[in-house]
Amino acid sequence: MIVWDEHNIGELINQEMYDNARTESEQSDIVRIEKLREFGGVYVDCDVECYRNIEPVIGNCSMFVCQDREIWNDQYKIPYLNGALMGCTPDHPLINKLIGCLPSFAEEHADDHVYIRTGPGFITLTLAGEDFFVPPVEAFNGDFCRHHFANSWLEVEPYP
């Protein structure tokens, strides 16, 4: 297990975005996808409480992203994804897509909340129609773990 912080993340592809991020949540969004590209594995946010091993759910898939709370599904008409728990093999093509699309997407959505700019909205809209595993929403909301939504974005940007 590796705990990433500002002392051990090293140089990032989107370093300028990281340095100019408006919130710690945005910085975490950037580091998450870049470290998954570099190392692969499973990324878990600090505000996710794990109850059981998630391997029985994800199996041997090459990439997975968990669904967020179902309340978002009505707004987006597709499963709303949350990077608080996601994983992939190193250098996965879809992680590379996320890293490559992030700067232009964030610029296009500069006036939007971090949730859209670099977080779940970005992941959801960028990966829409792609082929990867999305575990059942129950796995992320109580069966295997629970996301407590520690709200690291609240001090700078109020929740939409």
Is 6 part of any domain? no
93, pLDDT greater than 70: yes
Is 87 part of any domain? yes
Q: What is the pLDDT of residue 149?
A: 67
Is 10 part of any domain? no
- Cα gap 48→64, rounded to integer Å: 16
Is 76 part of any domain? yes
CA atoms within 13 A on the CB side of 40: 9
- Cα gap 1→112, rounded to integer Å: 33
Is 11 part of any domain? no
Question: Which CATH number fits the domain that encloses residue 76?
Answer: 3.90.550.20
Task: Retrieve residue 77's tokens.
Answer: 């008409």
Per-residue pLDDT tens over the stretch 94-152: 999 999 999 999 999 998 888 889 988 899 999 988 888 877 666 667 777 877 766 55
Number of domains in the chain: 1
Is 160 part of any domain? no
pTM to 2 decimal places? 0.84
Burial of 54 by CB count in 10 Å (0-12 exposed, 13-18 middle, 19+ buried)? buried
Which structural domain range is residue 129 located in? Answer: 24-147
User: pLDDT tier at 155 (50, 70, 90 boundaries)?
Assistant: very low
Is 3 part of any domain? no
Q: What is the mean pLDDT of the chain?
A: 84
Is 126 part of any domain? yes
Burial of 5 by CB count in 10 Å (0-12 exposed, 13-18 middle, 19+ buried)? exposed
